[in-house]
Amino acid sequence: MNVIGKKIREIRMREGLTQEQLATQCCLLGFDLSRSTLAKIESQNRQITDYDIIGFAKALRVSEGEFFKTIK
């Protein structure tokens, strides 16, 4: 389980991205991620590493700290 999956989903949706689009953006930045893995992360069914957090921050163009702000 992870605590930031919901926040990743919130930011992705705010940016108007599908899971497929975000997974593609991650791959283009060298962060190998499939859409199904992203779905597991967003549903908090897959653990993530600090490397994952850095990759998501780059792909979503936010700071790593953004993922730890209060989830609505």
Residue type at position 37: T
Q: Which CATH number fits domain 5-68: 2.40.70.10, 3.30.70.20, 1.20.1740.10, 1.10.260.40?
A: 1.10.260.40
Asked whether the predicted pLDDT for residue 72 surpasses 60, the reply is no
Residue pLDDT, tens place only, 24-45: 999 999 999 999 999 999 999 9
Write down the H helix ranges in the chain: 5-14, 19-28, 35-42, 50-60
| Prediction pTM value | 0.90
CA distances from 63 to 8, 44, 45, 54 (A): 12, 20, 23, 8
**Residue 44 and residue 28: Cα distance in Å, rounded?**
24
